[in-house]
Amino acid sequence: MSRPALIILRPEPGATQTMKLAREQGWNPYVSPIFRIESVAWDAPPAADYEALIVTSANAVRQAGKALRQYRDLPAYAVGSATARALKAEGFPDIHTGRGDANALLATLAEEGVKRALHLAGVEHRDAAHPDVVVDRRIVYESAAAGQLGQGTRTALTAGGAIVLLHSGRAAQRFAELVDQDGITRAGIGIAALSPAILADAGTGWGATITAPKPDDIALLAAAARLCH
């Protein structure tokens, strides 16, 4: 059975990475990033002030700059496999990969006795917290709106049956706005989201919806495939 159009909205370079994986699995992907990632100037505090580093997006690793290097001796906690790979590429030797969202990651830190951690994040982030872990959050990147959906993407969505991958809450909200602005029927679009919170940000009225069991592209594409049955 042929698979429907698959819409990828995440920014580069992640969009191309997801597209390649999707093509390997037999999807017909349309890449239409609705944001671009830009670095934000930040003051890097001393690594000695923390027991661990938390990173909830590979974009934070890419945009933190040279200051990131001073934290290599800290155990690094990544929210998913893509973030873990980005940390590994930057030379971090001690990486712990979570299987849920930022709150689940903080619960893991608490279980392992971490009392104070540095969290590198984007302007748009979820304020995860845990009573036993003090989190110092520093903003290292932002997502700038990149305009409208591409013509090919709009055509695929209008035709009905397309499945959209949602990697972030802000992308979910912006996509919903663009669909409504273009007069495209939500009910004809399937949604595969990286987490329940992201799916909630997309709002209601969509066709079939599903969330990935863990926050990585392999799990997300597997979830999208289940919408085809």
CATH architecture of 5-34+147-226: 3-Layer(aba) Sandwich (3.40)
Asked whether the domain spanning 38-144 has the same topology as the one spanning 5-34+147-226, the reply is yes
CA angle centred on 32, ends 19 and 83, rounded to 5°: 55
Q: How far is CA 35 from the centre of its chain?
A: 12
The strand pairing partners of 84, in sequence order, are none
Q: What is the pLDDT of residue 218?
A: 94
Could you tell me which residue, 64 or 127, shows the higher pLDDT?
A: 64
Could you tell me which residue, 210 or 101, shows the higher pLDDT?
A: 210
Q: Find where tokens 């597209």 sit.
A: 19
Q: What is the pLDDT of residue 29?
A: 96
> What is 134-193 written as a DSSP string?
EEEEEEEEEEEE--SPPHHHHHHHHHS--EEEE-SHHHHHHHHHHHHHTT--GGG-EEEE
What is this structure's pTM? 0.72
Q: What are 203-215's pLDDT values in tens digits?
A: 999 999 999 998 8
CATH T-level topology, domain 38-144: Rossmann fold (3.40.50)
Which of 98-102, 157-161, 209-213 bottoms out in mean pLDDT, i.e. has the lowest?
Answer: 98-102
Domain boundaries along the sequence of the chain: 5-34+147-226, 38-144
Q: What is the pLDDT of residue 1?
A: 52
Q: What is the pLDDT of residue 144?
A: 86
- When pLDDT is averaged across residues 60-69 and rounded to a whole number, the result is 96
